[in-house]
Structure 1
Amino acid sequence: MSSSDAAFEAEYSSARSTLSAQLAAVLALGVLLLAVLGVLQGYLARSFRRILNPGVLAATVCTLIAVILGSQMLSASADHLRVARHDAFDSVVALSRAIAYDANADESRYLLDPRRRDRYEESFLAKSQQLYGLKGATLSTYDDELAATWQAYRAGHRDLRFTGEFRRELDNITFPGERTAAERTVDTYAVYQRDDRRIRELPAADKEREAVAFCMDWAPGTSNAHFGAWMATLDQVVGIDRGQFTFSVEAGRSAVNGLLPWAGGLPCAAMVLAASGLRPRPAEFRQRSASRASSRSRERWTRRRVVSLMAWAS
């Protein structure tokens, strides 16, 4: 799971960087296009003595909407990606079953291999600390410290005396129903931990058979039954996060599919509108130029005529 999490984090970081670069490019290009259209509108107003060119104005509106929609699409995609990665997937990683099953296996090995009991006891404690970390705790003190710190946390959610994967999940509560399910998971975990102490106490009292039965049976009230209850509550939390992960992925795709055609089509429409708005202007410019040339020609003819009349009169 850790290797998959690292690979996912690398992909996530790359995708976030790409989205940020695309958003910056859309904003920069949009501002540039709007500035060009604004300058063009001003030039046409001065040259042809008109307040606004309808085609260029429509192109400006299309460009502005395209920038807004493109920015909204990229921002929504980045937000859904963050929710999927950190709010949902981080919790799935924190609540991986692997550590729990390894700890349960160490508990069984403790009974089946008496010569290595110290090793399996240390391994079980190490995995317990990974899940619900209590600094300096031993198996003999773990239960009391777990109960005290968990009670303090439930009172205000601010107690910082425990760490581990459960803490990682509890600090990442995001979705409806997630906190209740996560807290129930810790409650069932505490029951399983208390069962472990009984499993270790029974062999010390020469009750190996009772210890094996309590550890490996699935009857109600046994350690495996409580382990199953713990896994069931854990699955409830993971189910909530997986559901939200799927929802965020689908929402991100929906945002892209819904806005991309508009964000891509509007710039094309802007080009067509700008071209249609500018199309009559060259003919109008030539007509104005011809009119000015004709006017200058008449003025020259009139001056020559006046000069001729004055010469004849003199």
Structure 2
Amino acid sequence: MNASDDQAATNAAEKNDQVSTPVPAQSGQAAGPAAGPNPERKKLSPLRSLVRAALRDVTPIRLWLLFGLATLGFLCFCIATVVTVKQHMHALDTVGSDAAPSVISAHQIKIAVAAMDEALTDQLMTAPGQRAYGELVDDFEKSRQNVCRELVVAAQNITYGHVEQEPIENIQIALGAFEMQAQRARDLHEGGKDVDALGAYRQALATVGDKILTAADDLNKANSDVLEETYGREKSASALSRGLVLVLGMVLIGLLLYINIFISVRFKRRLNMPLIFTMLFLAIFLRHLTSTLGESSHGLVVAKEDAYNSVLALLDARAAAYLADATLSRCLLDGEDVGNQKKFFQANLDRIAVLPAGQSGQTVLAAALKQAENGQKVSVSGFGGALADELGNIRFEGERMAALDCLTTFLNFRETSNQELNFILAGKRDDAISIGLGYDPHGTHEAFNRFDDAMVRTLQINQEALSRSVKNARHALDGLVGGSIAFCVLMVLSTYLGLRPRIQEYQIESYLHRRDLKKNQG
């Protein structure tokens, strides 16, 4: 039905309304034709008024209805887009700035505390006044400062309430107690009371194991659990949310196309430029949006699975290495509990790497080197532990050789540390001290330093990749929330501009029709 059809229908209705109807005679008067216009005759029933309005206004009502549907569609599209972008941002913030830094700080605290423990045990085995004694005091102080720095980082990054705050407070309180106990042991040793110094050291060791390391594990778990949960939820919801945004966008394009066709057929106009531009810009924005969300999702995967997982494996390996090295010094200082210390030492070595049964470390290294040279993923049957996880997750430039260097230096450290432990178990204390505390380039001390340097280099590669991936993915989303809202508002205005001239045509037709009716009735 076009505008002329509506006008004809309305004229017919008006003519019918103007037909004279007989008026009942009042008391004392004869019935006859009406002498003049009567207001009661022009009053229509509600049903007839509704039909009359529908016949006259059906097209503008349909236009307003289509505009309302388009507005509702853009509102839903905007909400879905904003929610999806916010979810991506939350996941990136969790991995990049909320949870991962606290996980790293928890491991660094364990590493620094283990270094403090080792420095203290070595001090108690070194004569006061020697140069080495002063160097060990400095090492203890440097490690203490590292713990304090990591505590500050963790405290500044509290995101999940008491599950983070409580472990940090416990570490801080226990660290103060450990420092006082360590100083007491040092004072007794300098006073020549080595037996009492050993008792004071055991109290300090209990504080380290029962309080500081336990609280550091609690801090690590609180953040690691949230990170894994957030990533798992985002990974499963990412494709669904992007699909929802894409579907809503396609539905909107279809609705705008229908409006364009309706106007073209109904008003005999071929092009409606505002609606065409709305469809075009919506298609461009939809493509940009889905591409950006896909890029962000990929960046999250790289940050979590490629970088963070390697960082976590290397931190586990490094913490275990420091604990194992401190255990060797402890076995030299306190020989009463060597059996349990040996188990603790071996457990930490196994956390770093477990060799396949019946195979030597050199066999595993040769197989790993061969796979790496062929560009294959390093995967040796029966080979496990943190280093195996890292070697199986090599993704970045320079990481392959650094990770293989970790394995090479670990095997050397493993061999020399086991040799030192065997000297201790055999009662060859002087030989154990020579290989463990001396500066022999083939001793445990130098082997540990080479292994630690290799882990630090590999850690740096992955931490830089983690930071870079999160930064790039986050940068891609910057401004997308505000931009999406502004875009949808502009698209609603553009749709209105496309429909407004057609709506105004009916408003003019209606005005002219009412004016003609008044003239005829007058």
Q: Aligning the two structures, in what range does the TM-score lie when normalised by the shorter sequence?
A: 0.7 to 0.9
Mapped pair 1:145 → 2:364: no
Find out whether 1:130 has 2:345 as its counterpart: no
What is the distance in 1 between the residues matched to 2:439 and 2:267?
91
- CA deviation after TM superposition for structure 1 residue 213, in Å: 3.0
Structure with more relative contact order (C-alpha pairs < 8 Å, separation 6 or more): 1
Cα shift readout 1:243-274 (whole Å, capped 9, x = no counterpart): 01111111112101155554443322221211
Deviation, 1:287, is 5.7
Identify the residue that residue 296 of structure 2 maps to in structure 1.
Answer: 77
Alignment equivalent of 1:197, drawn from 415, 418, 421: 418
Distance 2:340 2:496 in 1: 80
Tell me if the contact between 1:58 and 1:270 (Cα under 8 Å) persists in the aligned partners. Answer: no
1:1-314 alignment runs, 5 A limit: 3=221, 4-17=223-236, 19-96=238-315, 97-136=318-357, 145-156=360-371, 157-203=378-424, 207-218=428-439, 220-257=441-478, 259-285=480-506
Segments of 5+ residues of structure 2 without an aligned counterpart are: 1-102, 104-219, 372-377, 515-522
Counterpart in 2 of 1:308? none
Conservation of the 8 A alpha-carbon contact between 1:5 and 1:93: no
Q: CA distance change for structure 1 residues 25 and 61 in 2, over 3 Å: closer, same or farther? A: same
- Residue type of the partner of 1:153? A
* Structure 2 CA distance for aligned equivalents of residues 98 and 49 of structure 1: 77
Higher mean displacement: 254-263 or 186-195: 254-263
**What is the deviation of 1:21?**
4.7
How far off its partner does 1:160 sit?
1.8
Decide which moves more: 112-121 or 148-157.
112-121
CA pair 17-201 structure 1, distance change in 2 beyond 3 A = closer
Aligned partner of 1:6: which letter? D
- What's the secondary structure of 2:478's corresponding residue? helix
Would you say the 8 A contact 1:67–1:263 is kept in 2? no
Aligned residue in 2 for 1:141 = none
| Cα 1:285–1:132 shift into 2, 3 Å | same
Change beyond 3 A, Cα 1:203–1:17: closer
Q: Which moved more, 1:59-68 or 1:186-195?
A: 59-68
Structure 1 pair 221–291 and aligned structure 2 pair: CA distance change class (3 A): same
Q: State percent identity of aligned pairs.
A: 25
Task: Give me the whole-angstrom Cα distance separating, in 1, the residues matched to 2:426 and 2:288.
Answer: 73
Confirm or deny: 8 A CA contact 1:69 1:259 kept in the other structure: no
Within 1, Cα distance between the matches of 2:472 and 2:450?
33
Indicate if the aligned counterparts of 2:356 and 2:381 stay in contact, CA closer than 8 A.
Answer: no
Closer, same or farther: CA 158–93 of 1 in aligned 2, 3 Å: closer
CA deviations 1:90-141 (Å, max 9, x no partner) are: 111101121111111222223233332222222222222221112557xxxx
CA RMSD of aligned residues (A): 2.6
Deviates more, 1:74-83 or 1:5-14: 5-14
- Any unmatched runs of 5+ in structure 1? 138-143, 294-314
